[in-house]
């Protein structure tokens, strides 16, 4: 993720505290900052496991909004808030965890005198957002940015691992004979390899940047084209079926009223409906980083299609 450097025998560098540390992005950030010699404090629900590749990461309890070990923020120079519920059974519970939880992290970090506050937002966060996820990310990033903090908006994050939206997409393409293309798969998709995202966050922290930066490949790829590329790398040949977005959204809302579990939610479709391309060249140039194209990322993640 971040270029390899000799690791000190003892952590003597500055301290970074990372919430959501056992998630897909959080794990990569913990390992990346640790390789750079930072003292890394990982905040997660489960502190009994150690999913990190690097040694020397210390764990603290963070089960938002109710449990937060604020000692993790003592003497920390940077707090990166990556914890966020994306899959939920009830919207009110998601609001409680995400909205109240984010505010609690922010308040605790401020009380501890943390110099730099970083929020991992989403490209879904914009004024025209239709989904709860996009609207809430926008609201929370404003809380961070207003007092001089930083918000990073990644595109779809690609990388190896058994978690995250990309992993779920891989599992769908691997196992399904038919893959639905809502609205024909015409949505513009911008991806970012997790290593490029880590390099961008490291650059923003080192430069003490403030404001909002979008980190994703500059040239979007259509959703259908991306799924076809992914299927080819996985050695699969599913049949892609165009599905009108409006009727599908109505059907999903009816299913959700019954309480029956379903792999796709109305929130997912609202997220697809709001997708838009963003010119990321200025933000990438300001940080001095690049974002490889989706085809390159997929070829590196799956170098030998079965």
State the DSSP code for 100.
I
Euclidean distance between CA atoms 39 and 35, whole angstroms:
10
Q: What is the pLDDT of residues 222-237, one digit of tens each?
A: 999 999 999 999 999 9
Residue 4 has pLDDT above 60, yes or no: no
Can you tell me whether residue 18 is helix, strand or coil? Answer: strand
Can you tell me whether residue 221 is helix, strand or coil? Answer: strand
Instruction: Report which of residues 95 and 102 the model is more confident about.
Output: 102
In b/e form, how buried is each residue of 123-134, taking b as 16+ CB within 10 angstroms?
bbbbeebebbbb
pLDDT on residue 8: 40
Q: Can you tell me which residue has the tokens 């998630």? A: 23
Residue 300 has pLDDT above 70, yes or no: yes
Joined tokens for residue 150: 């930083």
Residue 56 has pLDDT above 70, yes or no: yes
Distance of CA 120 to the CA centre of its chain: 7
Q: What is the pTM of this model?
A: 0.89
Can you tell me whether residue 243 is helix, strand or coil? Answer: strand
Closest CA to 192 of 121, 269, 126, 263: 121
Confidence of residue 57 (pLDDT cuts 50, 70, 90): very high
Q: What is the pLDDT of residues 112-170, one digit of tens each?
A: 999 999 999 999 999 988 888 899 999 999 999 988 999 999 999 999 887 778 988 89
Do 240 and 185 meet the contact criterion of CB atoms below 8 Å apart? yes
Euclidean distance between CA atoms 116 and 120, whole angstroms:
13
Please, what is the angle between helix 165-175 and helix 223-234, to 10°? 70
Distance of CA 25 to the CA centre of its chain: 6
State the DSSP code for 73.
G
pLDDT on residue 6: 40
pLDDT on residue 285: 98
Residue 26 has pLDDT above 80, yes or no: yes
Do 100 and 65 meet the contact criterion of CB atoms below 8 Å apart? yes
Q: Which phi and psi (to 5°) does residue 8 adopt?
A: -65, 155
pLDDT on residue 89: 59
Confidence of residue 109 (pLDDT cuts 50, 70, 90): very high
Euclidean distance between CA atoms 76 and 15, whole angstroms:
5
Q: Which phi and psi (to 5°) does residue 271 adopt?
A: -65, -40
Residue 255 has pLDDT above 80, yes or no: no
Across the range 183-187, mean pLDDT stands at 87
Across the range 238-263, mean pLDDT stands at 78
* Runs of H (alpha helix) within the chain: 24-35, 91-95, 101-111, 132-145, 165-175, 194-206, 223-234, 245-258, 266-273, 281-287, 294-301
Residue 1 has pLDDT above 60, yes or no: no
Confidence of residue 18 (pLDDT cuts 50, 70, 90): very high
pLDDT on residue 257: 74
Residue 9 has pLDDT above 90, yes or no: no
Residue 178 has pLDDT above 70, yes or no: yes
Average pLDDT, the chain: 89
Confidence of residue 172 (pLDDT cuts 50, 70, 90): confident
Residue 42 has pLDDT above 60, yes or no: yes
């Amino acid at each position: 993720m971040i270029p390899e450097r000799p690791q000190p025998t003892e952590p003597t560098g500055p301290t970074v505290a990372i919430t959501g540390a056992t998630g897909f992005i959080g794990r990569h950030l913990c390992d990346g900052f640790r390789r750079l010699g930072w003292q890394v404090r990982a905040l997660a629900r489960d502190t009994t496991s150690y999913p990190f590749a690097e040694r020397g990461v210390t764990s603290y309890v963070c089960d938002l909004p109710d449990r937060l070990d604020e000692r993790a923020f003592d003497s920390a120079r940077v707090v990166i808030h990556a914890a966020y519920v994306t899959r939920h059974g009830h919207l009110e519970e998601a609001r409680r965890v995400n909205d109240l939880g984010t505010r609690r992290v922010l308040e605790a970090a401020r009380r501890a005198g943390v110099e730099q506050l970083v929020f991992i937002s989403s490209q879904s966060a914009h004024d025209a957002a239709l989904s709860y996820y996009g609207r809430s990310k926008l609201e929370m990033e404003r809380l961070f940015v207003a007092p001089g903090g930083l918000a990073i908006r990644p595109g779809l994050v690609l990388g190896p691992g058994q978690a995250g939206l990309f992993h779920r997409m891989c599992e769908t393409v691997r196992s399904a004979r038919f893959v639905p293309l809502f609205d024909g798969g015409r949505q513009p998709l911008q991806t970012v390899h997790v290593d490029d995202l880590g390099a961008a966050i490291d650059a923003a922290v080192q430069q003490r940047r403030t404001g909002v930066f979008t980190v994703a490949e500059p040239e979007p790829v259509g959703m259908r084209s991306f799924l076809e590329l992914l299927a080819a790398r996985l050695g699969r040949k599913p049949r892609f079926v165009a599905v009108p977005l409006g009727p599908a959204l109505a059907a999903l809302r009816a299913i959700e009223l019954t309480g029956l579990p379903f792999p796709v939610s109305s929130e997912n479709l609202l997220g697809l409906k709001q997708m838009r391309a963003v010119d990321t060249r200025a933000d990438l140039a300001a940080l001095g980083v690049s974002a490889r194209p989706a085809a390159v990322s997929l070829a590196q993640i799956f170098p030998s299609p079965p």
